[in-house]
Amino acid sequence: IQDPSVYVTFDLTEPDKLGLEPGAAFLVWTTTPWTLPYNVGVAIHPEFEYVAAKDEAGKVLILAKSLLTEVLGETAEVVKSFKGSELERVSYSPPFTEAYDAEGEGKPVWMSGLDTYVSDSDGTGIVHTAPAFGEDDMRLSRNYGFPVIVGVDETGKHRYGPWKGVFFRDANNAIVRELRERGVMWREKN
Ligand code: VAL
């Protein structure tokens, strides 16, 4: 079984801080949609160049400059450029909050952190971070004090949300559907 590859948008909560209009978002790519309910942050490479550019619908998306053409096409209008290091601790609203709601630890602030492990050979140069599911994710989360949510139990089943009790990968379709419903699915590849 292959996991679907999805591009999702995480709207910035204070876009004005970067001189961007409301609706501006991080564009994030992941091949493990089932980990998105446990997103706690995004990773950005401090040395890469990033741009905020308009997609066909006019939504402003932040991604690595080197991936702009591949992802948004030749004609995308760039509205602003940033060095990765300027995009540290930029807060956004995540697609899912169920796991946090259930843990009852209060609302964390979802935000970006910097790490040089981020690659620009595919994706968007902005990496979805879920500490329980990756070594790099865990390091970034520890460095920035992001909460560690272990969203899957020892039998591989989701512990939270509408997919509680579902085997981790079997929740992909339901999660993808939710992403569409929540209006954060930008593009799907299979
Ligand atoms: N960071 C990885 C991803 O983007 C996982 C481990 C969450 O898919």
For residue 75, the CA-to-ligand 1 centroid distance in Å is 29
pLDDT at site 4 = 86
Q: How far is the CA of 130 from the centre of ligand 1 (A)?
A: 6
| Residue with CA closest to ligand 1 atom 6 | 134
CATH of domain 5-184: 3.90.740.10
Q: Is the ipTM of this complex over 0.85?
A: yes
Ligand 1 geometric centre to CA of 110 (Å): 15
Distance CA 119, CA 88 (A): 17
Encode pLDDT of 18-51 as tens digits. 999 999 999 999 999 999 999 999 999 999 999 9
Percent of the chain with pLDDT over 90: 87
User: Each residue of 65-113: pLDDT tens digit?
Assistant: 999 999 999 989 999 999 999 999 999 999 999 888 777 665 678 999 9
Ligand 1, pocket-test mutation among 2, 5, 10, 32, most atoms within 8 A of CB = 32
Domain boundaries, the chain: 5-184
pLDDT of the residue at 107: 66
